[in-house]
Amino acid sequence: MNQIAASMAAAGLPDGFHLAAAEMFVRFPRPVPDSRE
């Protein structure tokens, strides 16, 4: 997620959404990673 946020920032787009998404996954870890992502 942090790599996505960095991509957004580098493209001049807001990175806050994906930084918050990263925090959600830290707080609520998924038992099985989704390899489709």
Partner 1 sequence: MTEPIVIGLLHPGEMGAALGRCLIGRGHQVLWASADRSGQTAGRALASGLSDVGTVAAVAGRAEIIFSVCPPHAAIDVARSVAGFGGIYIDANAISPQTASQVAEIVTGVGARYVDGGIIGPPPEVTGSTRLYLSGAAAAQVRGLFAGSALEARIAGEGRWSASAVKMAYAAWTKGSAALLLAARELAEAEGVGDMLTAEWELSQPGLGVSHAAASGRRQPRDGAGLRR
Helix, strand, coil % over all residues of the chain, rounded to 5: 55, 0, 45
Shortest distance, position 26 Cβ to partner 1, whole Å: 10
Integer Cα distance of 30 and 37 in angstroms: 13
Question: Taking CB under 8 A as the rule, does residue 12 contact partner 1?
Answer: no
Quick check: 34 binds partner 1 (CB under 8 A)?
yes
The one among 12, 14, 16, 17 contacting partner 1 by CB under 8 A: 17
* Contacting residues toward partner 1, per CB under 8 A: 1-4, 6-8, 10, 17-18, 20-22, 24-25, 28, 30-32, 34-37
